[in-house]
Amino acid sequence: MSTGVARFFDSMAEDYEALEPWYAHLYEVLHRIARQVLRPRGGAGRALDAGCGTGFQTGLLTGLGYETHGVDISTRSLAVARNGRATGARLAAGDVAALPYPGECFDVAVCCGSTLNFLAAPEVAVAELGRVLRPGGRLLLEYEHKWSLDLAWALMGSTIGRRLGYGAGGPRLWGQLARRPGEGIWIDYPGYPALRLATRSEVARWLRTGGLVPRRVWAIHAVTGVIPSPALHRPRLSRGLATLYRMLRALDRAVVSVEAAQAWAAHLVLLAERVRPA
């Protein structure tokens, strides 16, 4: 990750856990999935939270019984984690693309919170995750997906100015879409560093390179995508919007395992298994 991304997460570390409505739904569903599929097999093992931030997934892994390690580029986020959710975990400052661990030392790894989307070379990070997992080890990966309803809103917003809250960058966005449909694109989202939205085909390619095989996929923010995401990136919703969003969240939870929903979901969660040397 770049120093700019590190400075961004340093600046928001103390307020990161004041979740906006968009992220409240994301983490609720993500953590329900994680608790279902990452339980230890047999006895307690070792788990890694790659891009752990303030410790959302770190604390979850510890609660499942793992000896948990976390790594993040934001030193302020690590400080918040040590004094909060990740008490008792072993935390280290480092880059997900160059993990400070020997090979085949973890039974489980998670990489969530859109960590991959902030990386200039996400394929390197996936290969690193494959390297540190033992054969049979599991990886839970969450990333922001290119072909989503939210991208359609962003494209619409780029043609009518900034009325939908997506900011500028319309010509660049259209230009990227005109090139390779199977490749990710960079977007400028207001208030955040540049994000690289990934496609399912390229993530599958990165997994193969890392000696990982996908086992299951879930869709999050598929149905809720009918609302432009900037409207949900705010501390509080109006009464009418909050009521609508509550109903859409229920529908979104209902289709989380439906394969068709993956085609337009803004976030995809993937469970993969290490099957050969990375």
Angle, helices 21-37 vs 56-63, to 10°: value is 30
Whether 132 maps to a domain, the answer reads yes
Radius of gyration of the chain (CA): 18
pLDDT of amino acid 143: 98
**Residue pLDDT tens, the chain, 278 long:** 678 899 999 998 888 888 899 999 999 999 999 999 999 988 789 999 999 999 999 999 999 999 999 999 999 999 999 998 898 899 999 999 999 999 999 999 999 999 999 999 999 999 999 999 999 999 999 999 999 999 999 888 777 656 676 765 666 777 778 777 789 998 887 778 889 999 999 999 999 999 999 999 999 999 999 999 999 999 899 999 999 999 999 999 999 999 999 999 999 999 999 997 65
Whether 165 maps to a domain, the answer reads no
Whether 32 maps to a domain, the answer reads yes
Question: Of 47, 72, 50, which is closest to residue 61 (Cα–Cα)?
Answer: 47
Dist. CA 265–CA 147, nearest whole Å: 7
Q: How many domains would you assign to the chain?
A: 1
**Structural domain that includes position 21:** 3-147+194-274
pLDDT of amino acid 55: 95
pLDDT of amino acid 248: 98
We report the CATH number of the domain holding residue 16 as: 3.40.50.150
Whether 43 maps to a domain, the answer reads yes
Whether 164 maps to a domain, the answer reads no
Q: What angle do CA 58, 64, 65 make, to 5 degrees?
A: 95
Whether 39 maps to a domain, the answer reads yes
Residue type, 60: L
From residue 262, give the alpha-carbon distance in Å to each of 46, 145, 215, 259.
30, 9, 15, 6
Please give the model's pTM, rounded to 2 decimal places: 0.94
pLDDT of amino acid 181: 79
Whether 185 maps to a domain, the answer reads no
> Is the distance from CB of 139 to CB of 133 less than 8 angstroms?
yes
Whether 21 maps to a domain, the answer reads yes
